[in-house]
Copies of this chain bind each other. A is one copy, B any other.
Amino acid sequence: MAGETTRGHQTKWQTPCQQCPLRSLPTFRDFSAKELDFVAQFKRGELSVERGATVLVEGMHSAHLFTLLSGWAFRYKLLTDGRRQIMNYVLPGDLVGLQGSLMGEMDHSVEALTPVTLCVFERAQLGRLFERHASLAYDLTWIAAQEESILDEHLLSIGRRTALERTAYLLSFIHQRARATGAAGGRRVIPITQQHIADTLGLSLVHTNKTLRKLADRKLMRWQDRGCEILDADGLLALSGWEGLKREPRPFI
């Protein structure tokens, strides 16, 4: 299993949970010793995939769930004719595949935006988690409710905000999330293409480009180095009419 290469994925042991680099971030809450022990044995290994690789496919029946350890990814759905909707972005500390683990079948796909490392957990042990670790079970529910809350806000954006507001919202949102987890491994730039933004906001690529230009003209952001750099986070937030993310530490697994 260690170091094995399977269909382009590389699996190998690396980070023991006790030294998980995410735990020390102020965004995440602490584990008790008991919780940490359980999570450590819950973790089955790590999975590394390259940029552009698909981690989970809609319709798939996966025996695992994951926490993203490093890199960026995104969740999306497709219509039969190829139209794509990106639902959300996956950053370090985010859980991947919970919906599929609970309901049997994935209802969306996940693709890596950068090289990505994921902690692999075994779905079959979820039952034990609920039986013996109520606090972690609570956290799982919290995480699911939090994702629901984010999707509510996205829905509000796509449904009722203008293209300019929407774009400002999305950039604010991603920027706040990235800042909390240490900004994508050092780069100051959000590693997405304009097509990703378009597919997140329900806009065409061309119109997205022209909308981004307006934001750039206002010195709120600029496009650079295959990604987006935020120049004026407050200005974007004000333009979007969004309240911003809560600052409290959040659970993760």
Chain A positions near chain B (C-beta within 8 angstroms): 75, 77, 79-80, 83-85, 87, 98-99, 102-103, 107-108, 126-127, 130-131, 134-135, 137-138, 140-142, 144-149, 151-156, 158-161, 199-202, 241, 246
Contact = CB atoms under 8 A, between A and B. Distances in A.
24 contacts: A77-B152, A77-B155, A79-B160, A79-B161, A84-B160, A85-B155, A99-B148, A102-B141, A102-B142, A102-B146, A103-B145, A107-B153, A127-B134, A127-B138, A130-B134, A130-B138, A130-B141, A134-B134, A147-B148, A155-B155, A158-B158, A158-B159, A158-B202, A159-B202
Contacts of A147: 148
Given A145-B99, A149-B103, A79 B156 contact: yes
A163 to B, nearest CB: 12
A181 to B, nearest CB: 19
Nearest to A200: B159
Given A99-B149, A148-B99, A149-B103, A241 B141 contact: no
| Residue from A77, A140, A148 with most neighbouring chain B CB atoms (10 Å) | A148
A110 to B, nearest CB: 12
Nearest to A203: B159
B144 A148 contact: yes
Chain B CB within 10 Å — which of A83, A130, A140 has the most?
Answer: A130
A77 B134 contact: no
A98 B160 CA distance: 25
A132 to B, nearest CB: 8
A102 B158 contact: no
A155 B87 contact: yes
